[in-house]
Amino acid sequence: MNKKYTYIWVSLIVLIFGIIFIPRIIDRIKSGSIVENTRMNVAEGAGRPLEYITLNDKKRRVPAFSFLNQDSLLITNEDYKGKVYVVEFFFTTCPTICPIMNQNLVEIQNEFREFENFGIASFTINPDYDTPMVLKEYAEKYGITDMDWNLLTGDSQEVMKLANEGFNIFAASSPDVPGGFEHSGLFALIDKNGYLRSRKDAFGNPLIYYRGTIRESLGENFEGEQEQISILKEDIKKLLEE
């Protein structure tokens, strides 16, 4: 075939492709479907066993704790033996991230309500104010009804030590920030034997913690950080099946 006509046919094919497919690609970008596919690859791990979180080559286990819950009952780490559970650090007067965190946890509570071997442990970082009575009112306000979801309060130094040293989840008093306390808004996932577990990210590193400050329905926050409640739910199911 004459080269001139070959070029014409190639140009025509490229033009037709552009007319048909480029608008579809633009529509997918606008609708977010391409972005969604990318998001799904950010945190890998579907179908794979969860990683053990280690420190100095040793599996990290939840340290011993003993606090009062919203019903003034003494709760220890032994009460969670044989259960998969999520840990958070919060406080009832938090004006920023705590309401979102606990809305997310209520959603998780409702999804796993029928599992007797699932629970949640919420440690207040303002125990001087958050008495069992205050925690009880907070539980009623947010729809916390699962008997294995304990809102825990006790000695302030012990709580801070548990957060910063036991879980390496940052928490500190800070009079210059709204509410008077700083904390990370992360969730830790614990298996039935008391070990911290997580999936790997796209780079092959354990996530360690799950972002608790973005609603699953939102997808991401204004900074482009992606929600991790959906993958937390998937990973809870994995541990329940172990």
The count of domains in the chain is: 1
What is the distance between the alpha carbons of residues 90 and 2, in angstroms, rounded to a whole number? 75
pLDDT beyond 80 at 10: no
pLDDT of residue 9 exceeding 80, the answer is: no
- Asked if the structure places residue 32 within a domain, the reply is no
Specify the higher pLDDT residue, 190 or 15. Answer: 190
Query: Which pLDDT belongs to residue 202?
Result: 85
| pTM, entire model | 0.81
* The predicted structure's pLDDT at residue 7: 43
Residue at 230 is within a domain:
yes
Q: How confident is the model at residue 16 (pLDDT cuts 50, 70, 90)?
A: very low
The whole-number average pLDDT for the span 201-210 is 92
Residue 206 exposure: Cα atoms within 13 Å on the Cβ side: 17
Task: Give percent of the chain above pLDDT 70.
Answer: 81
C-alpha span between 25 and 85 (Å, rounded):
42
Residue type at 67 in one-letter notation: F
What's the domain range around 177? 51-241
Q: Name the residue with higher pLDDT: 197 or 11.
A: 197
3-state SS of 148-168 is CEEEEECCHHHHHHHHHHHCC
Assigned domain for 14 exists: no
CA distances from 78 to 62, 82, 192, 194, 225 (A): 10, 9, 11, 9, 35
**Residue 163: which CATH number?**
3.40.30.10
Which residues partner with 152 through β-bridges?
Answer: 123
230 annotated as a binding-site residue: no
* Residue 25 maps to a domain: no
Give residue-wise pLDDT tens across range 36-91.
333 334 455 566 889 999 988 999 999 999 999 999 999 999 999 999 999 999 99
Residue 183 assigned as binding residue: yes
123 marked among binding-site residues: no
Q: Is 171 left (phi over 0), alpha (psi -120 to 50) or beta?
A: beta
Q: Is 4 domain-assigned? A: no
Mean pLDDT of the chain: 86
Q: Does residue 11 lie within any of the structural domains?
A: no
